[in-house]
Amino acid sequence: MAAPRVRKHIVVPGKPTAEAYKPHHRKIDVAKPPAPPSRATHGRALKRALDAAVTEAHQRRADAGIQVHGAVPGLYVQFESQPGVPLQLSSLEDARQGIELVAVNYTHAVVSGSAPGRPGQKPGSKNAEPRRVERATVFVPEGKVKHFVDRFAAYSKTTPKKKRERRHEDMLDPVAALRLATLRALWTDGRPLPSRLVWRSRSRADVVPVADLGTQTGAMKRFRVSCRSRATSLETGPPQRKRK
């Protein structure tokens, strides 16, 4: 007996037919990002940059002296790609540990030399095209920095690679640098980042310069959580005056 139709508005005329699967005949080669001159040196540099980001985040949190109830403590780290090389975004997050990719934005840089996948372009060419630089902002909860430290350590090994050993080259070869993220790194709106935000409550409206807000650990996410806890709303632009 045929099953009852649950989507009666969809009408498929004729009987179904089956076709044999035909694989794609053309081999598609995906260019891998060029490896740095020394993966050990690159891995140690990323480890130092992460240590500096953690230290700076703790210092800013202590200077701010603000604790937002209900917010998950942690820091936002921004990974920047090599020009013309996309980041492996899925490798930068781990849902089981609460490590979350929260924003991705792009810029362009003109760099002399041949681009990945374009060996015909001569170094220093006047016709060099701007290459896209990808920046991914990742939230790392407190105590989960070790997730990246372990990957940097494995990536930096100089001993012969064992069978099935993971050294995370696909994840870290495209990364040119990392740093502590600011509010600007979290801004993905098509409009330019406003110069100030308005913290509006029932009794008053406080104007918060973006430059100051960007120095606070947790940035926009914590700011929104604090707004909700104070029954306030978040707007961009100057506070509106009440009409008499």
Average pLDDT over every residue of 50-61:
90
Q: Do 176 and 196 have their domain in common? A: no
What digits encode the pLDDT tens for the residues 136-188? 999 999 899 999 999 999 999 999 999 999 999 999 999 999 999 876 666 66
User: How far is it, in rounded angstroms, from Cα 227 to Cα 208?
Assistant: 13
Same domain, 212 and 177: no
Residue 3 lies in a domain: no
- 6-10, 33-37, 132-136, range with the lowest pLDDT: 6-10
Looking at the domain assignment, is residue 150 inside a domain?
yes
Residues 200 and 97 in one domain: no
Query: What is the span of the domain harbouring residue 95?
Result: 34-62+71-111+129-181
* Res 134: pLDDT: 94
More confident call, 46 vs 199 = 46
Asked which of 181, 202, 220 is the last residue of a domain, the reply is 181
pLDDT at 15: 83
Provide the whole-model pTM: 0.65
196 is a domain residue: yes
Q: What percent of the chain has pLDDT over 90?
A: 36
Mean pLDDT (the chain) is: 75
60 pLDDT exceeds 90?
Answer: no
